[in-house]
Structure 1
């Protein structure tokens, strides 16, 4: 073999190695980022929010120590049509529960029955072992599906009358046309004061694996939700809606090999009427979006690819304060039981 041939072979080998190395580098560069060992975070959200930070649920047998929502009557004349029922003699909670209809819905609206406790004289959800001197049934005037209509009101009357007959009660109903008109007015207000905010975090260079997204979100207190590709920042009180939610491609989360799934965008969301104003949810949304974008080499966008500047976010914050004021004035403060039911 001549020196020329040897030289050509050597040059070819070098070229081949260079091609292989380049392809490996491109493959590594374009591969989704994987979770890595990261130091723990102190105060992941802004100072001043430490006491309002999310608490990851912990399974325990000592349920009495977990914060629970205060047990209060559900029905409220502000957002419900209410029919009262007098009874000839006190009725046991067990008998009342047995008389309830199979479904607690009237069309697309919630249907509830409460009893007046013989012991305390206060309205409460019916529980076994108690006795009740009167009852009231209610159907929600409106929700995000729309206002109560005439057909739903008629179904409410039928269900309430059947319950009243079973417990020996005499119901008193309000005027259908007046209640339907009230439902439309409440639905109009709700439509004008509903807000569900979403920011997208978009990758600027390499994509992310589901594990990489989970790892960074978990550092801010997010925990896995029931649906694949969804994480939530839970409220401090068990049973209340999450403060924020994070979602990404469900198919990527359910892939046989999630590490090879490439995610280039995920969404941070806030359902404004569901979370109390005092929890500063929008402040937390901004901080979470900014921190995740910085740590993951991403950008905060509107979902259409347009970056959201601080001036835009400041304007949204001002608009939200006006929205909160309007809800407060209507006695439907964000995060209240009434607001959570109306905006659902």
Structure 2
């Protein structure tokens, strides 16, 4: 081994020894500092159980299988019922039909705060206003919305959703301003901030929706001309046998999903007119409804000579009735393709 190799070996060994010594010194110094600050312990900090919690029973998260109230464990170990979790979730609304106004309270409020507002402002020109109480979710995520009318507890927010169109027309700028004025007064009285959409955008949305609804709306009227000598009891018996139900001056035909068709009797000198009406967007099954109306009218015609007529007073032939069927099927298809299937909640809301 020459002098150069020996020199390199000595230098390399010395460097390694110096590095090991430095690392040992750093580890010793950090352990000493940690011991002075936190004390010494041989327990694993991830597995150790604090003494004040050692007597508590360990529970696993899960879903409640019954209708009992959900419970919350407080910091001192007490178990209390959380009333918010017992409230009814807010009804689902179609955002195409509503504009939202959001109140954010400085201090959480209970139902006594917003009940006078709800009682005084349930609708505007027959356009529905739906209220929901908002509570922050326990994990700090989305706000949980509950039916405001039956809310128990205290809520940080209140949402008022206003219908923007129905058969009375679109929400106008005057109606919007009236509602906003009353909402602002409520917000001022309850130390709340109010968030609301821009009026011009809402009015434009409402007008567009109203025009689309007008193009889709269909009310189908058919009439059965009953001779005056036919007794009312006979007509009523036939209607009841066919599934029709009388309420006041109006008769209705319905199934489990809702009203199918309605009928009103018009008395005139020498005749009696049974006027059947199918409100297509609101009918649970318009095509079936037409079949039921045609069936009962045909039976009256066969037994009493009572012809079926349209709104113009023209007697309907078999060919004319087939034409009505085809037009109705096409109209139902247009409604469904537009997202307003006849009988659905959104359709009944828009065509109310």
Contact 2:278 2:286 in 1 (8 A): no
The TM-score with structure 2 as length reference comes to 0.65
Which protein, 1 or 2, shows the higher relative CO under an 8 Å CA cutoff with sep ≥ 6?
A: 1
List aligned pairs for 1:182-331, cutoff 5 A. 182-203=205-226, 207-226=229-248, 228=249, 230-236=250-256, 240=258, 242-249=259-266, 263-277=271-285, 280-331=288-339
- Structure (1/2) with the larger strand percentage: 2
- Structure exhibiting the larger radius of gyration computed from Cα positions: 2
Q: Which runs of 5+ in 2 are unaligned?
A: 1-87, 138-142
**Residues in 1 aligned to 2:135 and 2:332: alpha-carbon distance in whole angstroms:** 35
Q: After the TM superposition, which parts of structure 1 deviate over 6 Å for at least 4 consecutive aligned residues? A: none
**Residues in 2 aligned to 1:268 and 1:245: alpha-carbon distance in whole angstroms:** 6
Partner of 1:65: none
Contact 1:199 1:267 in 2 (8 A): yes
**Residues in 1 aligned to 2:229 and 2:312: alpha-carbon distance in whole angstroms:** 18
1:144 to 156, 163, 167: 167
Does the C-alpha gap of structure 1 residues 132 and 318 become closer, same or farther in structure 2, counting only changes over 3 Å? farther
Number of aligned positions between the proteins: 260
List aligned pairs for 1:97-112, cutoff 5 A. 97-112=115-130
**Residues in 2 aligned to 1:194 and 1:231: alpha-carbon distance in whole angstroms:** 22
The TM-score with structure 1 as length reference comes to 0.66
Does the C-alpha gap of structure 1 residues 246 and 114 become closer, same or farther in structure 2, counting only changes over 3 Å? same
Contact 1:231 1:246 in 2 (8 A): yes
Does the C-alpha gap of structure 1 residues 103 and 263 become closer, same or farther in structure 2, counting only changes over 3 Å? farther
Q: Which runs of 5+ in 1 are unaligned?
A: 1-69, 253-260
